[in-house]
Structure formats: structure tokens, C-alpha cells
Structure 1
Amino acid sequence: MLDVDSGKLIVPANVVVEGNHIVAINPETAPSVDRTIVLPGMTLLPGFMDLHTHITDDLEGNWVYRNVEEGPIDDALLGVKYARMTLLTGFTTIRDVGASGFADVALMRAIDKGIVDGPRIIPAAHAIGTTGGHCDVTGYAPGILTMGIEEGVADGPDEIVKAIRYQTKYGAKTIKICATAGVLSYEDSVGAQQYSDLELRAAVAEARLQGMKIAAHAHGTEGIIAASNAGVDSIEHGSLLTDEAVAVLRKNGTFLVPTLYQWFVPVELPPVLHEKNEYIKERISESVRRAIKAGVKFAFGTDAGAGPHGRSGEEFTALVGHGMSPLDAIRTATVNAADLMDIEDRGRIKIGLLADIVAVAGNPLENIRLLEDVKFVMKDGKIYKAPD
């Protein structure tokens, strides 16, 4: 068993689960239990947390046409497939950072009620963005897919406040704001700042008023700095980090969620979007290495949905490949993720915490790629995957 705080492996590891909680670890006397599960040669770890997903989305087929051919009900049903896939790869908690029509909220409720299997979901509902910006739907004729406050498209502090309150009213548990342009949208620049400093501060203030964390999609340096200085809890992507931007993140204690591995997965995109994707891919490695070296706080995110589902463990490998230690990579998806989201009942294998436990065959501190093939998954005391 890996103690993610100390980095020590505890051998042997006998974990006793009662109901949905961990009640003992290596007790002096053998407890009376209904079932014993033996996992020889395996390492137990806390259930992982992916803090950047789009669980009700993917890039299959012609996703430009899908915007008008399919709706939130289709998205929610698609999410049923990907939620189970995500859980079986060892991710027992996810933060979903943008879904249409509250599909992620509906999926969260279905999972919480036990209707379908999946990780716990912290949904953002619609991401908040400017008219014509990354979180708007662009590339269509006027009058087609016109988005408003209800869909998260908001300009100026007053509209931003209304948009956040609307998402909260219908079930959002966290907020995402698009501080800059992006890849999968038709703006000219991938990194241009899209919300003003005043607007960003208004978004942060309202998220705080609602008692929620706020993440900022931000590729470009100016937008990263502005969002961090406004007080967001995390920067998503952070692809164009300079030394100045890294220093600001450190000073403000802002987490970086780099969504690293998905940039290196081949995907078919329209030419203009492909060019932007290649532009980021050439630069994000340097940015992540710079942030690791500077001691920026990292949390784990994959951008699954914009990238492939079911391969989230590859993010650990990508982080280690960019200079992070295996232990620190594991921490991004456990204690660091819990710290970012103020989650106190998960992120460690510890007495009194929820029984979210996964296992891999071998020692992931020696071979991080073991996390790409999780053999055992327990969420909330229930086993969803076990070796034959």
C-alpha cells in the first residue's frame, strides 16, 4: 500500500472496509469480516481523481454536425458509457468542466442514485465564456446555435454573475471560465485573453459567494497571469507558460492542471484547428517542465472528451516523462486533487475516509506505466473490478 503523504510503501497492507469507509489498516487482531480479497504482488492506492474531463462528450464522427444533430440527452447517454469506462481505469472521482444542457449534472445524479456505474462527478455544467469566444459555439451562420447566459455565454460582470448563478441553480458544483481562446474553437489565436481582469475578478467573487471552486481555461501567458491574479483556483492547460507566469502561479498558490498527454494523441481536426493543436503541442512540453522545475502546484487532468476516454492513466506517464517524480505524479491525482477541491474524505487510504481504493500489479514508484492498467477498483466500498 502506498502512503501518498510520506511516499512509503506499507508492506503488508491489510485494509478493513466496513460499509463505505476504511475502518482499520493492519489491525493487531484479525477482524470478523464477510469477505476477504487477496491481491498478491499488488500495490494499493487511493482512488484517482481526474479534475479535467468532458465525460459526456467525445470527438467521434463529425463533431461539427453533431452540435446540431444531437442534444444534451444524447450527451448524457454517451456519458453513461464513458463514466463506467473511466471508473474501471481507477478514477473514482472526476471534475467535469463543461457539458451542454446540464448533461453532466444529470449523469452525476444517475450515478449518485445507483442507476448507472461511474465515478463521483463534480459538474461545472456550462463553462462560462465570452460571446464568440472559446466557450461559445462558433463557425455557424447567425441564428444557428445562438448561445446566451443559460448556456454560459456572458459578457461583463453582471452577465457573468447571472450565468454562474444559473449554472448553480440547476446543479453545478464547480465553475469553469474560459479566460483565453483555445484549440477546438475558431478564434484566430489560441492564447489570446478573452475576459478582462474586471470580468475575471467578478467570476471569482461570484464563485466564492456560491461556495464553489473556479477553474480557468487558459493557454496564453497574459490570460494565465490575469486569471491567477484574479484568484482562480486552477489554471487548465497553461500551455504557454513563461517564467513570469510561473512565478505568478507560485506566488498565488494557483494549481496547474496541464492535460498533457492528450496533446500527443493523433486526432483528426479541421485544418485551422489542426494548426492550433500543433502550435500548442510544440510548446506545452517546455511549459510543463518549467512549472515542475519551479515548484508550481499540480493537479491531475486529462481533458478526456477533447481527447480519448479510457486512457487517463497515460497522464501519469506523461508527467513523469516531463520531469515529475512518480510519487509526485501520483499525488497530483490523489492528495493534490483533494487539496485543490477541498475534499477531505478521499485522496488517501486512511482510517475514516471513504473506501475508494485501486490496485496495480507491481510498484508504480518503479514503473509509472503500471497505472495505465489498474487491476482492482473499489469505490464507496463496492468492488467494480477485480482480478480473475
Structure 2
Amino acid sequence: MQKPILAALLLAATTPATAQIIAIKAAHVITDAAQPARGASTIIVENGRITAINDASAPIPAGATIIDQSTRTLLPGLMDAHTHLTGDPDKPFWNEAIETSEHQVAVGLANARKTARAGFTTVRDLGSANLTAFAVRDAINEGLFAGPRILASGPALSIIGGHGDVSGYRPEVNAALAQGNTCTGPDQCAARVREASQRGADVIKITATGGVLSQQGRGLGQHFTDSEMTAIAQTAHGLGLKVAAHAHGARGIEAAARDGIDSIEHGTFADAAAIKAMVANRTWYVPTLMALVGIDDRLGKGIFTPTVEKKVRETLALRGKALEAATKAGVRIAYGTDSAVYEHGRNGEEAAQMVKYGKMTPRAVLVSATSGAAELLGITAETGTLVPGKAADIIAVDGDPLTDATELAKVKWVMARGKVID
């Protein structure tokens, strides 16, 4: 009696589980934002991956679960290359002195779901306290919570007293809140990169210049030296990691591009020389225009300190100018928003900002949010286009995002890695 039972158990243990097959019907499918859309089609998804994209007339596999989006356009899931999931706007700067890491993880998980529901199936988290973003990333990867694919940097590397370092408190409080993310000199900066890699960073974030929302009021110029940034870039690349540089001032942007940094974040005051360096070094640009929406919405309302308000006004005076010039010059653009400076879930509104202020076409914006961002993030083999074999990162909109960028802020349905985000 026992042998048949044992044999059945062994057979069950070695027999593959029945594949989950999903068939998604669509009026149109944008498989690649750089190419024309297909007509009525059905996307077949099996165990989280696209297995086929068929004409609507093709038979649907037996037993498949059918998802009817037949009045809508399907396209690749969007990507936001610059988020801060564990933070929210409107919190005073001293909140970092009282908020626990555990609470930040909870905030991050909630914001990750909002972001995914908005159509963003991949994000890059560029700056979070301690191990918080790694915890959010890992919990989603393990299937414990719904959310996007996350590439996280952990705390940004900073110079002592610069943007990204703790400031605005008594010296002993600054010291108590410090995260060990500052460095001076090429050797120590290289060591900080190795430590970030050891902690599990997917990307290295540095603050190459001053910042708008930090309490230091010494302008937005270059912070790290050329030798420090070169050491950071070379060390990171040796570990298979890319480097993203928060950079506002023109000379800091130029130096970061020249020194091997992979992407410029914000780039507000980029001039002709800075843009020339970006073109020459094939440096990506992530414009984050939604950050300007966030700070503009809050200017003059007592949310920012006088030190920060002064920098906000300087930044708003040049809204989108750098993006327009960079686009004309042929700089590679990746979509990114700086969420947490504005409310999470509004990520898709960046698209209209890029058209209005950066003079980009809706198609170019969509490329920047799909295949372009995937190239920057190093995940083109996994996502960015709808191709058999890639992850089923798929969203649906009612209109045509190739001609109307506002459609990216009106996503109606989302599938991330084969799972529908309700």
C-alpha cells in the first residue's frame, strides 16, 4: 500500500506544474515605441513571460485565461529611472531625525504599489536611508507585495557637508544621523562604492553638485573633484554597476560626463559645454521635470526653509531649457521623475512636461520611458519592448501614446512580470 503512495508523491514532486497561460486581447499593440503599432492582436503570456504576439484572428491556446483589453492599446510597461520610494513630499527636513527605517519600508511598499498601478513596471530608486529600498525591492521580488521591478542604490554618496550629507542640525545630531555615505579623496570614494556593492546596491548614486532641497546653501556647483568621480566610475564599472549623478550646475555636469559617470540626473543648468561633454561621452540624461512641478506647487507656502526657497526660484527660472538643448544636440534621454518631491503615482505626468518644456515628440518620450530607459538600466534583455521571451511588463491605455503624451498619465490596466496590478 505504501509503495504506490510513495511513487505518486515522487511523481508529483518531479512533474512540472501546469503552466499558467494568459491571453490578452488588444485593439492595437505597440511592441517597440520606435516602431509603428500593430493592429488588433492577442499577447500570450505563460508563467510571467511573453510567448507570442498573434493577430487577433489566431486561435487562443486551450485553457488560457482571457483578459479583454480589445478596445485599448497595449504597450511596454513604463520605467522611471529616478524615484525615491521610501519618501513623501511635504515632510519637514527634520523628519529624518524621527522617522524609523521600519516606517520608511512601509511607506516604500505603499508607494511602490501606487507607482506600479500608474503603469510603471520598473523603477530605479536613487537615494534612500540605510537598507530601506533594498528591503522594499526584495519583498516585491519575493512576491510578498505588489510592485514594480526595482533597481536600488541605497544612500547617495556625498562630500562631507554637501547635498546628500546630513545637515541642518547641531553637530552631534548630524553625526548621529550620518549614514557613512560621505567620502573624501579617490581611495575613500572607491571604498564607499565597494561598500555599497557589498550591501546589495544595483546602481551607485552620487551627488556631483549641490542640491535644491538640502539645507546647505552654498549653491549648486561641482562637489566631487574630477579624481574622486573618476575613481567612483571606474570602481563601479569594475563591479558591473552604473553610476547616476545628481547634478545641477554646468561645470559639475561637464565634469561628471567627462569622468565616466553614466547618467546625469536633473541637469538643470547644463550649458553648451556640458551638453557637448554629454554627447562626446554618450552620457544619458534623466531630466526629472516633475520635480520642478513638485517644488513649484509648494513654493511660498511655508514648506521650504528660506535657504531652500532661494534655490527653488533659481531652478524654476530655467525649467526644461537643458532638456530642449540636450535633445537638439542628440543626448540620449531616459525618463525619470524624482518622485517623492511630488506625490507618488503621478509619474506619468512627466511625459507632458517633456513635450511642453523639452520640445520632445510623444514618440521620443515613449522611447525614453521604455526601450531607452531599459538601455540605461542595462535590462534590455528582460524588458523595454514586447517581444517573446521577455517579461510580461504590459500596460493598456485608451488613446495613442505615440501621438499624445498625456496618455502616459492615464494608464487603465497594468501587468508587471506577468501579474496584474489591481
Q: Shorter-chain TM-score: which interval? A: over 0.9
1:148–1:203 CA distance, 2 compared to 1 (3 A)? farther
Partner deviation per Cα, 1:114-173 (whole Å, 9 max, x = no partner) = 111111110101100000000101111111132798531111112212211222111111
Tell me the distance in 2 between the aligned counterparts of 1:303 and 1:285: 15
Pairwise CA distance, 1:32: 2.4
Paired residues for 1:225-374 under 5 Å? 225-265=254-294, 266-267=297-298, 268-322=303-357, 323-343=359-379, 344-374=381-411
Q: Match for residue 124 of structure 2?
A: 95
Amino acid at match of 2:258: N
Aligned length: 384
Matched-pair contact (CA < 8 Å) for 1:50–1:95: yes
Q: Which has the larger radius of gyration?
A: 2
1:382 aligns with 2:382: no
Tell me the distance in 2 between the aligned counterparts of 1:105 and 1:91: 18
Paired residues for 1:20-169 under 5 Å? 20-26=48-54, 28-61=58-91, 63-146=92-175, 150-169=179-198
Matched-pair contact (CA < 8 Å) for 2:245–2:261: yes
Tell me the distance in 2 between the aligned counterparts of 1:287 and 1:237: 9
Tell me the distance in 1 between the aligned counterparts of 2:188 and 2:171: 21
Pairwise CA distance, 1:59: 2.4
Amino acid at match of 1:339: E
Matched-pair contact (CA < 8 Å) for 2:158–2:206: yes
Amino acid at match of 1:60: D
Pairwise CA distance, 1:69: 0.9
Pairwise CA distance, 1:271: 1.9
For residue 36 of structure 1, give the secondary structure of its aligned residue in structure 2. Answer: strand
Pairwise CA distance, 1:371: 1.2
Pairwise CA distance, 1:379: 0.8
Give the TM-score normalised by the residue count of structure 2. Answer: 0.88
Compute the RMSD of aligned alpha carbons.
Answer: 1.5
For residue 144 of structure 1, give the secondary structure of its aligned residue in structure 2. Answer: helix
Unaligned runs of 5+ in 2: 1-28
1:283–1:138 CA distance, 2 compared to 1 (3 A)? same
Matched-pair contact (CA < 8 Å) for 2:290–2:339: no
Pairwise CA distance, 1:190: 3.6
For residue 206 of structure 2, give the secondary structure of its aligned residue in structure 1. Answer: strand
Tell me the distance in 2 between the aligned counterparts of 1:383 and 1:116: 12
Moved over 4 A (4+): 147-150
Tell me the distance in 1 between the aligned counterparts of 2:205 and 2:34: 32
Q: Name the % identity.
A: 36
Partner deviation per Cα, 1:46-98 (whole Å, 9 max, x = no partner) = 1111110110011233x223111112211111111101100100011111011
1:147–1:174 CA distance, 2 compared to 1 (3 A)? farther
For residue 15 of structure 1, give the secondary structure of its aligned residue in structure 2. Answer: strand
For residue 40 of structure 1, give the secondary structure of its aligned residue in structure 2. Answer: strand
Paired residues for 1:182-197 under 5 Å? 182-197=211-226
Matched-pair contact (CA < 8 Å) for 1:299–1:340: yes
Tell me the distance in 1 between the aligned counterparts of 2:38 and 2:283: 32
Q: Match for residue 41 of structure 2?
A: 13
Matched-pair contact (CA < 8 Å) for 1:94–1:119: yes
